[in-house]
A and B are shown apart, each in its own frame.
Chain A
Amino acid sequence: AQSVSQHNHHVILSEAASLELGCNYSYGGTVNLFWYVQYPGQHLQLLLKYFSGDPLVKGIKGFEAEFIKSKFSFNLRKPSVQWSDTAEYFCAVNGLNTGKLIFGQGTTLQVKP
């Protein structure tokens, strides 16, 4: 079955701490991978995406993610979080010839000032 699993449901960090959010997927075939973020009161927006090429992708606001094909993982990282990073983060996957995005259940990140 096609699925996305996010290991951490709720993460609390202090400002300047490093962040890593886990994401594993189950999907037959080649995939595109995404991280979306939902800030409080705002709509889902794309943080970064992987379609092909360099497995280390950089996104907006200092976020990056690494695609490890052998581990079916696409973990999100940021070296130093800010209070403004408080949000819900979703990992998502789709196959090469489908527009259907499969989302994980999300990770709530709370950054304490």
Chain B
Amino acid sequence: ETGVTQSPTHLIKTRGQQVTLRCSSQSGHNTVSWYQQALGQGPQFIFQYYREEENGRGNFPPRFSGLQFPNYSSELNVNALELDDSALYLCASSLERDNNEQFFGPGTRLTVL
């Protein structure tokens, strides 16, 4: 059983640029959630995708957008990058959207200069 994978591992961008982060869910999981973890903080929920539809969103501006594909992999897109977007971005997958354990990937470290 393959766990949650994310790519790339690290990324450096400059202010104003756009970035796409990718996540492959664990086999059999149809739900993917994205979190932002700033240094020294706990992860903060960005949004969740269930069967290709957005299923809940946290307190993040519209320049954070996402997508889920028929194979349940997912992308997180961030437009007009700001310095404060520098963080570890975590993807988690689960069997179903509610009341299920979320399995986390290793994360993508994004640095915005």
Contact = CB atoms under 8 A, between A and B. Distances in A.
Interface of A: 4, 32, 34, 36, 42-46, 49, 51, 90, 92, 96-106
Interface string B53-66: 00110100000000
Interface residues of B, number: 28
A50 to B, nearest CB: 11
16 contacts: A4-B42, A34-B101, A42-B106, A43-B107, A44-B43, A49-B101, A92-B42, A96-B99, A97-B99, A98-B98, A99-B48, A99-B55, A100-B58, A101-B102, A102-B45, A105-B40
Nearest to B3: A43
B41 interface: yes
A97 B99 CA distance: 7
Contacts of A98: 56, 98
Given A100-B56, A100-B58, A106-B42, A43 B106 contact: yes
Contact of A43 (B45, B97, B105): B105
B111 interface: no
Interface in B20-79: 31, 33, 35, 40-45, 48, 50, 55-56, 58
Contacts, number: 62
10 A-B pairs with least C-beta separation: A103-B42, A44-B104, A43-B106, A100-B45, A99-B97, A105-B42, A99-B48, A103-B43, A106-B42, A43-B104
Contacts of A101: 33, 35, 43, 45, 92, 102
Interface of B: 31, 33, 35, 40-45, 48, 50, 55-56, 58, 90, 92, 94, 97-107
B42 A99 contact: no
Nearest to B105: A43
Contacts of B94: 99
Of B40, B45, B106, most buried by chain A (CB within 10 Å of CB) is B45
A101 B56 CA distance: 11
Contacts of B107: 43
A97 B92 CA distance: 17
B98 A46 contact: no
